[in-house]
Amino acid sequence: MTTPTSSPATEDVVHWPADLAARYRTEGYWQGRSLGSYVADHVAAHPDREALVDGDTRLSYRQLWDRSAALAQYLLDLSITPGNRILVQLPNCWEFVALTLACFRIGVIPVMALPAHRRHELTHLAALSESVALVVPDCDRDTDLREVAQQVAADVPTIRSVIVHGDFTSALGEAAVPEHSLASGLATTARFASSEYEPSGSDIACFLLSGGTTGLPKLILRTHDDYAYNIRACCEVSRFDADTVYLGTLPSSHNFPLACPGILGALFVGGRTVMLSSPAPERALRTIDAEAVTVAAAVPAVAQAWIEHQREHGTLRGNSFAVLQVGGSRMPDELAARVEPVLGARLQQVFGMAEGLINMTRLDDDSEVVVNTQGRPVSEADEIAIVDEAGQPVPDGTPGALLTRGPYTPRGYFRAPDHNVRAFTVDGWYASGDIVIRRPDGNLVVAGRDKDMINRGGEKISAEEVENFAYQLDGVDMAAAVAMPDPRLGERVCLYLTLTPGHRVELDDVVAAMDAAGVARYKRPERVEIVDAMPTTKVGKIDKKDLRERIRDRLAHESASRGEQS
């Protein structure tokens, strides 16, 4: 059994080179402050101003701060102490914000799991981070997450407790570790002095998850210094200020809605966040009017749904809505062109990554730039290079692989030395796996990618992970998961298989295997194609480009013949 350490071991962490860290400090990118301290400024300056709205709950800066103090005390009372990691899996709700702030205030490190994650992902994340507690909602749709949490706790020896948000009354079957309730945590009286556990700028603030090109997500360690700068730089480019009303509808544990500038950005400038549990168009558009929302963030699929809904129903009547940020996956140019005419909000394209670098179009860019590009880095200290297969820079206008370094782009994943060798160059550049074109005006256009990942409406799925499940099935000889085009989500997972003679494997079999292993539903393949042999490249690898083209042509053909029939 591994003993939970109060802080991660130094060999698990890749630091910025000392000279560069010193430069980032002297030049003011890193301010040596905890994330909570930026919010504390607003608590002191205008305690009664509204900070957070979630349904009928409206919290002022002071009330949010007090609730985060109660939760911080609660964690301490459960012997969860500075440096400990806790796996947080909460839906969009004010408690998520209060808990995140609680962690930031006392140096407990939240691992930002996604609401869709299940036993398979949660077990991996808890084990890798050596989390000491899980924070889960009672259920998500038809899944009993209390039960899932206990299964995870049974498999991960460092976990000492499960903290439940929501219904806590019904009895649990078998409990591996004690259960506690977040609601009772909120009733705790804070006894710690604010300065007592105040983290330093170089302490770890949180772990974000990588989009994942390998089997399971990697952990991205963000320090208070670098994440605060991420937030401040995004706030500046997105012009967040005290009048900002931000609509939080994407899952809050994603970097985009959390910190680009997102919920934390709104708190950094004294603005207000309105939390919604889902981006369903009718409610989202009504909320934008009712709460006088000024800025919202969406993935392209959500933007498309809002545009279609608005065209059909004209739900949005007011004129508060100034900016719609769209990112997470490539927004088709035709869709981008419809945002402003239909929703009345300026489009801001955001091409970012949990690993750091954030690109944005600027609010005063020409429409041509806003519609046709994914913007440029938010910080003058961001370094980017676009290189060919030999690692040599390509000229502007030529597609190449994106490399980046900078004050908020960490130099390695947590506890992943083997993977770091592949994802980072010896000079510390992060290879994002995106193929981009830099235009002469400096804006980037995302033209493709050279990573084995499928981007399903902004949710990233590792092809290898899906393939690993296929290989567990009897009769599967070779498996290749590829993206198939989808008009709504951009991409979905198509699984190509070759079978050993005499076997049959269908989509349901693969899905059943993934369900049995407790895998998040969004990773399910949505089509299986059986082929006699896999196409191969010159070096003998499965030729996924060929497979992507095949499924694209086949879908086009199917849709054309459906058109002929109707």
Q: How far is the CB of 348 from ligand OOB (least distance, A)?
A: 10
Options 244, 304, 373, 374; binder of ligand OOB; rule CB under 6 A: 374
The smaller minimum CB distance to ligand OOB, of residues 99 and 297, is found at 297
CB of 210 to ligand OOB, least distance (A): 6
Nearest approach, Cβ of 255 to ligand OOB (angstroms)? Answer: 4
Interacting span for ligand OOB (CB under 6 A) from 91-99, 321-329, 405-413, 553-561: 321-329
From CA 77, how far away is CA 190, in angstroms rounded? 10
Region from 106-114, 287-295, 324-332, 500-508 binding ligand OOB, contact rule CB under 6 A? 324-332
Report which DSSP code applies to 76: H
- Whole-number minimum distance, CB 304 to ligand OOB, in Å? 14
Number of residues binding to ligand OOB, judged by CB under 6 A: 22
Q: Min. distance of Cβ 548 from ligand OOB in angstroms? A: 15
Q: What are residue 150's DSSP bridge partners?
A: none
In the complex, least distance from residue 184 CB atom to ligand OOB, rounded to whole angstroms: 34
| Using rule CB under 6 A, residue 240 touches ligand OOB | no
CA 205 to chain centre: 16
- How many whole angstroms separate alpha carbon 260 and alpha carbon 396? 27
Asked whether the CA dihedral 43, 48, 51, 52 is positive or negative, the reply is: positive
Ranges within 330-359 binding ligand OOB (CB under 6 A): 330, 349-354, 358
Q: Assess 406 for contact with ligand OOB (CB under 6 A).
A: no
Rounded Cα distance between 562 and 32, Å, is 61
CB of 209 to ligand OOB, least distance (A): 8
Under rule CB under 6 A, residue 162 binds ligand OOB = no
Return the closest-CA partner of residue 426 out of 416, 411, 410: 411
Q: How far is the CB of 127 from ligand OOB (least distance, A)?
A: 21
Nearer to ligand OOB, 454 or 476 (CB): 454
Structure tokens at 48: 């009664």
Minimum Å distance from CB 45 to ligand OOB?
Answer: 28
Indicate the residue among 73 and 329 with the shorter CB distance to ligand OOB. Answer: 329
Element (DSSP H or E) covering residue 545: helix 544-565
To ligand OOB, the closest distance from the beta carbon of 392 in angstroms equals 21
Burial 543-565 (b: 16+ CB within 10 A, else e): bbeebbebbeeebeeeeeeeeee
The Cα 30–Cα 231 span in angstroms is 12
In which element (H, E) is residue 161 found?
Answer: strand 161-165
Omega prior to 261 cis, within 30 of 0: yes
**Is the link from the previous residue into 487 a cis peptide, with omega within 30 of 0?**
no
Q: Looking only at Cα atoms, what is the longest distance across the chain? A: 73
**Which residue's CB is nearer to ligand OOB, number 122 or number 350?**
350
CA atoms within a 13 Å half-sphere pointing along the CA-CB vector of 540: 0
Exactly one of 72, 204, 235, 260 binds ligand OOB (CB under 6 A); which one? Answer: 260
Q: Which is nearer to ligand OOB, 212 or 525 (CB)?
A: 212
* Residue 329 in the binding site for ligand OOB (CB under 6 A): yes
Q: How far is the CB of 316 from ligand OOB (least distance, A)?
A: 23
The position carrying tokens 């997470």 is 328
Smallest distance, ligand OOB to C-beta of residue 353, A: 4
Contact of 203 with 224, CB cutoff 8 Å = yes
Give the Cβ contact number of residue 66 at 10 Å.
17
| Closest residue to ligand OOB in the complex (CB) | 352
Beta carbon nearer to ligand OOB, 75 or 258: 258
Looking at the Cβ atoms of 40 and 247, the one nearer to ligand OOB is: 247
Nearer to ligand OOB, 8 or 211 (CB): 211
CA torsion angle 386 387 392 398 (round to 10): -80
Can you list the alpha helix ranges (DSSP code H) found in 207-314?
224-237, 255-259, 262-268, 281-290, 300-313
Out of 115, 248, 328, 407, which residue is the one contacting ligand OOB (CB under 6 A)?
A: 328
Q: Which is nearer to ligand OOB, 37 or 455 (CB)?
A: 455
Which is closer to ligand OOB, CB of 68 or CB of 379? 379
Q: Which helix (H) or strand (E) holds 423?
A: helix 417-423
Other C-beta atoms within 10 Å of 312: how many?
9
The structure tokens listed for 273 are 């966040």
Cα separation, 136 vs 123, in Å, equals 13
Q: Near ligand OOB by CB under 6 A, which window of 141-149, 177-185, 254-262, 497-505?
A: 254-262
Nearest CB to ligand OOB, comparing residues 223 and 455: 455
| Binding test (CB under 6 A) with ligand OOB, winner from 434, 452, 465, 467 | 434
Q: Which of residues 438-457 bind ligand OOB (CB under 6 A)?
A: 446, 449, 455
Rank residues 201 and 211 by Cβ distance to ligand OOB and give the closer one.
Answer: 211
How near is the Cβ of 436 to ligand OOB at its closest, in Å?
Answer: 9
To the nearest 10°, report the CA torsion of 324, 325, 327, 333.
Answer: 50
Which of 92, 63, 460, 56 lies closest to 247 in space, CA to CA? 92
**Contacting ligand OOB (CB under 6 A), which of 36, 137, 166, 211?**
211
Q: Residues interacting with ligand OOB, by CB under 6 A?
A: 211, 255-256, 260, 327-330, 349-354, 358, 374, 432, 434, 446, 449, 455, 460
